[in-house]
Amino acid sequence: MPHLTPENTPRIGFIGYGAMASRMGDHLRAAGYTISAYTPSGRSPDPTVSMLATPRALAQQADAILVCVPDDEALAASMYGDNGALAGMKPGTMLLNTSSVSPEASTELFASGRKAGVIVLDSPVSGSTPEAETANLVILVGGDPENVAEAAPIFDAIGKLTLHAGPPGSGTRLKLVINGIMGAGLTTLAEAVGYGLASGLDRSTLFDALDQVAVISPHHKRKLRAAKEGDFASQFPARLMQKDMRLLLDAAAREVVPVPTLAAATQQLSLARRLSPNEDYSSLIRVMEKIVANDD
């Protein structure tokens, strides 16, 4: 199978075309690819993108499929059945699943693709909308090395680095590890901020000091700077972060790995999801500030 270059594979079909996927699509169009999409709502943030009625219809006219859906259920709904993408894909074409889903969903999709003669790579991305906007995503890929190499031009158009994590399913597992660290780090930060404010530290001094120290990641410093201004516009919504933490807890339990810290962080992020599901997951900082403010 030839490399997926714009010259010989110009048509990429997106299943899911929201905040992340539409930014990826912009970069792929700039690289010379033609983009079409399917969404359950039939709507796209970009009116210039051709929308198809079903995943199957999209797959029938695409040379490669890129999937960006929120969870296992959405993946299954778009992949399987008479109107699913697998029913319309030609043997030998490639399906790149950038969604954050369970390892079991990735394994099932790989097996189903193999039966249909379709090449499936689990390829979730590390990064939020700012990284998607600037093509600075890190793509975490599970699959055969030769297939990863074939997909490299697509990955290069949307990201700064592609990491081949191992055999099928490995990209999904690595994504859960990364998001677990990200989610637990934010909950620790939110709780520490709560203590700092309750102890009488000046709010601006506290936030500015945390922005300067090496123990906090650049990602979490970006969240802190936005939180200082009360900005919780969604770059990674709380509902998706809590979902990924839940998937990680289940995956760890299947491997009999104790993860009490991650379990506690998931409870905190469940609170953030309950209160503001579509705001950024860093809205947990606001929750802690409100708890402290009402502590007298």
pLDDT at 1 over 60: no
What is the residue type of 131? E
Convert the pLDDT of each residue in 19-77 to its tens digit.
999 999 999 999 999 999 999 988 888 888 999 999 999 999 999 999 999 999 999 99
Query: Which of 127, 244, 123, 124 lies closest to 183, judged by CA?
Result: 244
Report, in angstroms and rounded to the nearest whole number, the Rg of the chain calculated over CA atoms: 20
Torsions phi, psi of 228, nearest 5?
-55, -35
Residue 96's pLDDT is 98
Q: What is the CATH number of domain 174-293?
A: 1.10.1040.10
Residue with structure tokens 């983009």?
Answer: 35
Convert the pLDDT of each residue in 238-296 to its tens digit.
999 999 999 999 999 999 999 999 999 999 999 999 999 999 999 999 999 999 986 55
Q: 271 near 259, Cβ under 8 Å? A: no
List where CATH 3.40.50.720 sits in the chain: 11-166
SS (H, E, C) 179-227: HHHHHHHHHHHHHHHHHHHHCCCCHHHHHHHHCCCCCCCHHHHHHHHHH
Query: Which of 257, 266, 289 lies closest to 184, judged by CA?
Result: 266
Convert the pLDDT of each residue in 121-133 to its tens digit.
999 999 999 999 9
List where CATH 1.10.1040.10 sits in the chain: 174-293
The CATH class of 11-166 is: alpha beta
pTM of the model: 0.93
Structure tokens at 175: 């994504």
pLDDT at 224 over 90: yes
